Amino acid sequence: MALLPILHFPDPRLHKIAAPVKQVDSRIRQLVADMAETMYAAPGIGLAATQVDVHERVLVIDASEDKSGLRAFINPEIIERSGEQICEEGCLSVPGIYEKVSRAGWVRVRALNEKGESFEMEAEGLMAVCIQHEIDHLDGKVFVEHLSQLKQNRIKNKMAKRARITA
């Protein structure tokens, strides 16, 4: 396994739309393993392939307290959603920034697992937020784009300043 570099907002590569995975093979299973290792090391609870500059529809999530609930979602799609919840979100691509975002309170998602098997699951609360947040990444959208233009500009400026300081 390997730690992968995480892209930081406002990197334009975060806006690329991920292509569907044609075949779940050893390369995709290795990507899932590397993404999980990267997510845990960051530390985070979700990571989309787009964030590590791989533009395929793959994401990993582990919202469990003890880090025992790793789930891989390949070619995920939300097929049903309802309700609304406002949660404070953060993102490994926007480190140190937390903002309230409105999301569906419940979702049903269909995807493939790392064995290439199709599954559906229902999620609510934190897991529902995570699924929506990570699928947004696959669609080329970062959570800050759910915020007002003023907040987006402030965050872009803060991230650009950080990049200059660490460069």
Query: What's the CA gap between 130 and 63, in Å, rounded?
Result: 8
Annotated active-site residue in 89, 99, 114, 134: 134
Query: What's the CA gap between 68 and 165, in Å, rounded?
Result: 36
Pairing status of strand 85-91 against strand 118-124: unpaired
Answer yes or no: are the C-beta atoms of 52 and 138 closer than 8 Å: no
134 a catalytic residue? yes
Q: Which residues are annotated as a binding site?
A: 91, 133, 137
Which whole-number Å values give the CA distances from 14 to 3, 25, 76, in the listed order?
Answer: 18, 25, 18
Pairing status of strand 94-103 against strand 85-91: antiparallel
Cβ-Cβ contacts under 8 Å for 100 (sequence gap 6 or more): 86, 87, 88, 89
Answer yes or no: are the C-beta atoms of 95 and 144 closer than 8 Å: no
Q: Which residues are annotated as a binding site for Fe cation?
A: 91, 133, 137
Residue numbers annotated as active site: 134
